[in-house]
Amino acid sequence: MGSNTLLEWIKNYLLNLDDLEIIVLGRSKKEQSLESRIKDIVLGTEGVSYLGSSINFKEIEVFLKRNVKYVKYDLRFPGLGISDDYKKALRRFPIDFFIHEGASTDLRLGASISEISQIINVSGTQKILELINQLLVKEFVYVGTAYSCGDVSGDVDPDFINRTDEFRNSYERTKLEAELLVREYAEKKGLKYRIFRPSVICGRLMESPFGAINKFDVIYGWGAFFLKLKLKTLKMSFESGLKTNYQMDVRICFRKEGGLNIVPADYAAKLMFQVCVQNLPGKNFYLVNPIETPHDRYLLGMIKAFNINGVRWVSNIPNDQNRIEEFYYKTVGRIFTPYINATPNRFNDKNLRVMTKRQGLICPEISDINLKKLISYALTKRFGL
């Protein structure tokens, strides 16, 4: 989401780049500095493709040097790891939009994951609020998740808050807890704010290369489980293992008539950008796909693309599990069954409809054709394995 957000802002300012200044809060990685990571995102092949092949490479390079400030931070560190002097220096720049997207997105269960989610998502957001208290921020934007709503059925409004304390995992709980901190802080301080809640993010489907994404979790993670298992059993190279037909007797429990709300990352970034710059009325927005993707389409679609046979739908978790099923329901199945077997609901995105119509923004459906594009791209990256 972060890369798509950045690219979308730059794309919209290509004709007047001098009017855009960005402060990127981020981390360096291994040997790569934050500045170099951002340069790769924007001026790497996929970034250039997002911006449009006619861009002036040199001009963007200058923009990244002159108009972008790179602030190394970590949501786990006291004061975010930013020195007081630097914070004072940042106060000289009035900020139109402060977008907080960083988070731990680990859906796994367990005490240690819960602790990390609490530190990064909740305490980290608290630290971000302490930071903006020292800056001149005109509008605060928080990216939450649609699935913090829990297992609710029917129409879910964008300002719905799950007060049941029933969540599928600590990720959902901590993302909502952080959202509530943002609301409380902003209301108290009279700060303008918006909350965006994306559903399940998939690769790009509006800006080429289609399928582009840099992390293969959530639905991709579900697929990667089966691909990894197949490759490990066959003991073949990725390419030969993928092509080989393989029988895997697994019964997957999911709601047959149900679906998952899967939204392309570029579409979500475009919605967010337009809401902010058009100053749309409202504080809460679902960034979702108007058309749900049936579970059997994307789940069994991935299995088919991996040339795995024998995976079947069942309405209940089987009691007489074979070895693979035991493994599945203890690991990936444990994380995903609450999503793929959930009560059907519908995230209400009516407050975006006038804008999307005006802008001609149409969310790509995860049709069989688009699913193929997502899978093909993910396979070029070996599903992150």
Binding to ligand NAP by residue 75, rule CB under 6 A?
Answer: yes
Q: How far apart are CA 203 and CA 215, in angstroms?
A: 9
For residue 209, the SS3 value is coil
Binding to ligand NAP by residue 120, rule CB under 6 A?
Answer: yes
Binding to ligand NAP by residue 40, rule CB under 6 A?
Answer: no
From residue 357, alpha-carbon distances to 148, 199, 349, 370, 381 in Å are 27, 20, 13, 22, 35
Instruction: Identify which of 292, 198, 302 has the alpha carbon closest to the alpha carbon of residue 250.
Output: 302
What are the respective helix, strand and coil percentages of the chain, to the nearest 5? 50, 15, 35
Q: How far apart are CA 288 and CA 252, in angstroms?
A: 26
Of the candidate residues 104, 337, 345, 351, the single one contacting ligand NAP (CB under 6 A): 104
Give 145 or 251: the residue with its C-beta nearer to ligand NAP: 145
Shortest Cβ 131–ligand NAP spacing (Å): 12
Of the candidate residues 21, 35, 40, 74, the single one contacting ligand NAP (CB under 6 A): 74
In this structure, what DSSP letter does residue 121 have?
I
Give 179 or 325: the residue with its C-beta nearer to ligand NAP: 179
Q: Which of residues 163-202 bind ligand NAP (CB under 6 A)?
A: 175, 198, 200-201
Instruction: Identify which of 258, 217, 254 has the alpha carbon closest to the alpha carbon of residue 385.
Output: 217
Shortest Cβ 97–ligand NAP spacing (Å): 16
Give 156 or 250: the residue with its C-beta nearer to ligand NAP: 156
Q: How far apart are CA 366 and CA 379, in angstroms?
A: 17
Give 216 or 327: the residue with its C-beta nearer to ligand NAP: 216
Q: Which of residues 3-32 bind ligand NAP (CB under 6 A)?
A: 26-27, 29
Shortest Cβ 143–ligand NAP spacing (Å): 4
Segment contacting ligand NAP by CB under 6 A, of 72-80, 125-133, 186-194, 319-327: 72-80
Bridge partners, residue 32, by sequence: 29
From residue 337, alpha-carbon distances to 257, 320, 370 in Å are 15, 17, 24
Binding to ligand NAP by residue 101, rule CB under 6 A?
Answer: yes
- Point out which residues bind ligand NAP (CB under 6 A): 1-2, 26-27, 29, 74-76, 101-105, 120, 143, 145, 175, 198, 200-201, 215, 218
